[in-house]
Amino acid sequence: MADEALAETQPVEEPAPAIEAIPDEPVSAPAEPDGEPGGASPEDIRARKEYRTRKTVEKELQSERIERIRLEERLRLLEQQAPQPQAPAKPRVYTLEEVQGALDEGKITHTQASAYLARVEAERVHDEREARAAAQLKVQAPIERATNEVNEYMALLPWTNDRASEEFKEVANTYYSLVNQYGMPDNIVTQRIAIERVAGSLDRIKARMASDRDTRRARIDDAHSETPAGGPAPSSANNLSKAPAHMVAVWNKTGLSEEKRKQEFAIWKQSRK
């Protein structure tokens, strides 16, 4: 009886429920430490290819910039180390009183005195003209450089020709502040500074546009590789009839070719995404 009571009080172990296998679901791998997308889906592979293309362009541009800076610094050091040519000593210039004294003492003739004074005056006028030209060149050089760079901005950024655009208005406000609040000159140099503050440096814009071109090229290559046997579906990506009016006005004014128009329109559409 004791054995039967003990048997009744002991808990009965029930078999553990079977664990059903959960099928693996595709999960995109997290991004690598340097920002490269992971994963094996077609979208992940395309994103990784675009990322690597962009990084390659950025590294090439950075390498070119570093090399240019290194060469400029080397040239500067060589110029500093090179012996400076000694300017030939100018002959002494006699004053009018000294010439008159020599004439009175009979050391020179009236013809020699007149010729000497005429030559001295001609050299003085020539030196003054050269000095004015050098000073004007020093003032004009930054203006010419700024003019060329502003033209580059206008060629790369269509909104610089659209006074109604928000970016153009921001540049105008920045320019007004630089001139009226900080006393900068009212000229093309200050305009160039204002554009750079709003749009960024030319090197950065060119790098971004190069990266965008490579990205679009990679997408086109992917699209060609995935095109079905029936051929690609018609696309409106290069339909210039959908381009904004301000871009069309700039194209017509500059006589831009249709191929260039399609490229600019594609860049503009990409920037709106």
pLDDT at 273: 59
102, with CB counted inside 10 A (0-12, 13-18, 19+), is middle
State the pLDDT at residue 23. Answer: 46
Tokens (6 digits) for 187: 């000229």
- Rounded distance, CA 69 to CA 156, Å? 24
Which structure tokens are listed for 204?
């950065």
- CB-based contacts of 181, cutoff 8 Å, min separation 6: none
Altogether, the residues listed in the chain come to a count of 273
pLDDT at 179: 92
d(CA 213, CA 56): 13
At residue 254, the pLDDT reads 75
- Looking at residue 15, its pLDDT comes to 53
Distance CA 70, CA 232 (A): 48
Contact present, 143 and 188 (Cβ < 8 Å): yes
Query: What average pLDDT does the segment 198-213 reach?
Result: 87
Tokens of 40: 């094996």
180 by Cβ neighbours in 10 Å (0-12 / 13-18 / 19+) ranks as exposed
**H or E element, residue 119:** helix 110-156
Shortest CA distance to 185 belongs to which of 148, 132, 142, 154? 142
- Condensed to tens digits (0 to 9), the pLDDT of residues 151-199 reads 999 999 999 889 899 999 999 999 999 999 889 899 999 999 999 999 9
pLDDT digits (tens, 9 = 90+) for 52-80: 888 888 888 888 888 888 888 888 888 77
Is the pLDDT assigned to residue 29 strictly greater than 50? no
Q: What is the pLDDT of residues 129-155, one digit of tens each?
A: 888 888 887 778 888 998 999 999 999
| Sequence-separated (6 or more) residues with CB below 8 Å from residue 180 | none
